Structure 1
Amino acid sequence: MSVRAFRYGLEHEMAVTRRDGTFADFTSLAFEDLQAVVDVLPEDPADYPDLRVGDQGIKRKRWYVEGYERFDGAGGLLRCDPKGLEIRTRIHHSVEGAVAALQADQKALDAELAIRGLGTTVVGFNPLRSAYVIEPPLNAWEHGHRMGSPEERTAHLHMVTYGPDLNLSAADMDAAELVDVGRKLTHYSPWLVPLSFSSPFRDGAVWDGLSARTFERTGARPAALVFLGPDDPQIEADPSLTQEARLAAEIGRIEFKAFDACPDPELYGELLSLLTGLVLDTTLPGRRTTPDAALHQQVARVGLRDDAVHAGTGELLDAAAAALAGRPADLDRLGSLRARWAARQCPAEEMVARYAAGERVAGLCGSH
């Protein structure tokens, strides 16, 4: 029975819709319009030990405008093209605490957006357009800045994707153990992500698959990232597996980045419990330093409908359950997740069904 204590955090990306339900993105949104919403939400100095503000000061609150920043030739901020909004929780000592914090902050955000004729929708991939075009092309300063890391180099990809960062850490994990966990989660990512799939639309129509986000993103960008201390050796990889922590609260953080954005925050809680079990597990042998892009693309099309994928996900649920013995709350959440798995459910399946029934889903108007 494990007594290891974990801490948890959630980072949740949302797309924006207008009052009539139409989808809004960098082609029709102004950064200033979304920032005006963030400006009226409360700022809490107690957030800062846990949350990074960033160089430009855009991330001063638990809510912030997510986008792609453009700079002048001397590195001065010119503009930020918005893709949507993000909510970040503080670090919590329980999964329940992180989920409850996200739900409360979502409620506050939605109320302020509604006043301005806006709302949020949760979808894993921009349903209208598959690419963000960098216009004008990067200048010399921007090129140097964006080529500084694999993640900066591929930052434009995130402009059409929406996903969470599910964070967990344990104080007694050293750098070697963190790297090993990161490699384990990277290896098993193709069998984890189908539980979250929520991007069945692409270029204004239903796509031939369940996660356009996974198809386009994972492999070029990390599945898992671990944050190490300044004296810990970094692993050279493209995309990155490790990163030097940018503030003290990040040291030791395991960040799983490959899930699609989930409409139900409770699903995030269930997935955090699954990740907890996989961190505690000592039986699973698979390890990879970078994600298997081809396998992710295959799984993105078929999800849990495929018997082999379904079986692989079931093996991970079994391993996590064994490792979570003595942790009843985590086991309860894992039980709920197992029920979704048994029914081969993911949010994308429901989204397609609603669209087929004629409902507006993620800004797209369905038709019979």
Structure 2
Amino acid sequence: MFFFGIEHEVAFLNKEGKFADFSHTKFSDFNQIIEKLPTYPSDYPQLRVGDAGIKMKRWYIEGFERFADSDEVIDCHVKGIEIRTTIHSDIQGAITELSESFRLLREVAANFDLSPVLVSFNPYNPAFEPQPPLNDYEIKQLEAYPDEQTANIHMVSYGPDLNISVADLSTENVIDIGRKLTYYSPYIVPFSYSSPFYKGGLWDGLSVRTFIRTGKRPAALVFVQKEEQLINSIPSLTKIARIPAEVGRIEFKACDSCDDFSIYAALLALLKGLVLDNTLLGRETVPSKVLHQISAKEGFDNKDIFENATKVLQAAEVALGNDPDVHYLMPLKVLLAKRKTRSHELIEMFNRVSSIEEVIRQTYQV
């Protein structure tokens, strides 16, 4: 029995048509949207609320929380709004819920002159520097959690968590799958590439997000129940589950954002196939920075990336066999046959209109 969920980060243009990020957008600008969106009491306890109470709904503000010299949250630098689905026993259920939640978000945001745009890396600000600078309490908090020290990357990169779990798998097996997905990540992520912009212009490649984050952030994250099940690595491969519903969950975190949710369905089917597959033997605890950076620059134009992406896709298809979910893989086959990604389309549009805002305004045409 498989279970699926998606966490999808949404960036926005403001009423001036400018990219709405932490440099000139306040918590209240996004919070007015969140306040108008519904709460579904039946979502809990499978959705985590968190300490600051920001994650009360299926939608919440993604950002960097600021503290007084204590555990009191006094502000939050904003990045965008994250949509998270509840847990589903089928891929279509997760995609349908995500689509409906996105439709509601877009409708409510329009009332405040904010429009969603596809961005996987901040096209203008290459790094996040907290202002005012961190106080002593905040510095101590960050030092206690190594992954939190990459907030400078987290605040400028946007991407999904593609969540998958299997009933009754041992912790050992779940970690093994996490290591497998980490190894094959450079060949999976090009199917999602959508971040060709950097510092206000075109970047020399297809995914600046992948190029910058790899080695500092995990490709896959496995949630375990007990402290002794953790594997010591930087970036982390394992994490203690914060609520019972997280135990045994594998989050694939390496993909760029997609504005065509059928690609998420395809990627979840691919992950399902890789869980079932017994032929691919590669394993890695820490993502390969070198391979991810080659992948980010060249995508399917690189012979090694193309051949291994083909191998991964074929292995998943064979492992799925007669499972109806095998049909979800079709968009990935098309991308591979054309050796094209969403980034190629965005680059072509930019070469025509010479404006990042004009290009990203034309995304999410659903």
> If the length of structure 2 is used for normalisation, what is the TM-score?
0.96
Q: Does 1:282 align with 2:278?
A: yes
Q: Does 1:332 align with 2:327?
A: yes
Shift of 1:362: 4.8
Shift of 1:267: 0.5
Secondary structure of 1:166's counterpart equals strand
Are the aligned partners of 2:349 and 2:359 in contact in 1 as well (CA < 8 Å)? Answer: no
Mapped to 2, the partners of 1:362 and 1:291 lie a distance apart of 32
Are the aligned partners of 1:22 and 1:363 in contact in 2 as well (CA < 8 Å)? Answer: no
Mapped to 1, the partners of 2:316 and 2:279 lie a distance apart of 10
Shift of 1:19: 3.4
Shift of 1:336: 2.5
Q: Does 1:163 align with 2:159?
A: yes
Size of the alignment, in residue pairs? 361
Q: 1:355 aligns with which of 343, 347, 350?
A: 350
Matched AA of 1:49: P
Shift of 1:365: 8.4
Residue aligning to 1:76: 72
Are the aligned partners of 1:68 and 1:156 in contact in 2 as well (CA < 8 Å)? Answer: no
With 312-321 and 292-301 compared, the bigger mean Cα shift is at 292-301
Residue aligning to 1:345: 340
Residue aligning to 2:149: 153
Matched AA of 2:126: S
Mapped to 2, the partners of 1:66 and 1:238 lie a distance apart of 23
Mapped to 2, the partners of 1:10 and 1:333 lie a distance apart of 16
Mapped to 2, the partners of 1:81 and 1:41 lie a distance apart of 21
Are the aligned partners of 1:14 and 1:162 in contact in 2 as well (CA < 8 Å)? Answer: yes
Q: Does 1:228 align with 2:224?
A: yes
Are the aligned partners of 2:353 and 2:359 in contact in 1 as well (CA < 8 Å)? Answer: no
Residue aligning to 2:184: 188
Matched AA of 2:247: I
Matched AA of 1:284: L
Residue aligning to 2:312: 316
Shift of 1:344: 1.1
**5+ unaligned residues in a row in structure 1: which ranges?**
none
Q: Does 1:57 align with 2:53?
A: yes
Mapped to 1, the partners of 2:290 and 2:66 lie a distance apart of 32
Q: 1:235-246 counterparts in 2 under 5 A?
A: 235-246=231-242
Shift of 1:360: 4.9
Mapped to 2, the partners of 1:191 and 1:136 lie a distance apart of 40
Mapped to 2, the partners of 1:242 and 1:9 lie a distance apart of 18
Residue aligning to 2:212: 216
Identity of aligned residues (%): 45
Secondary structure of 1:15's counterpart equals strand
Are the aligned partners of 2:219 and 2:253 in contact in 1 as well (CA < 8 Å)? Answer: yes
> If the length of structure 1 is used for normalisation, what is the TM-score?
0.95
Q: 1:260-271 counterparts in 2 under 5 A?
A: 260-271=256-267
Q: Does 1:86 align with 2:52?
A: no
Shift of 1:44: 1.1
Q: 1:1-80 counterparts in 2 under 5 A?
A: 5-80=1-76
Mapped to 1, the partners of 2:304 and 2:16 lie a distance apart of 41
Mapped to 2, the partners of 1:237 and 1:137 lie a distance apart of 28
Are the aligned partners of 1:127 and 1:364 in contact in 2 as well (CA < 8 Å)? Answer: no
Residue aligning to 2:93: 97
Residue aligning to 1:197: 193
Deviations 1:292-319 (A, max 9, x none): 1122112111111222211110000011
Q: Does 1:128 align with 2:96?
A: no
Residue aligning to 1:250: 246
RMSD: 1.5
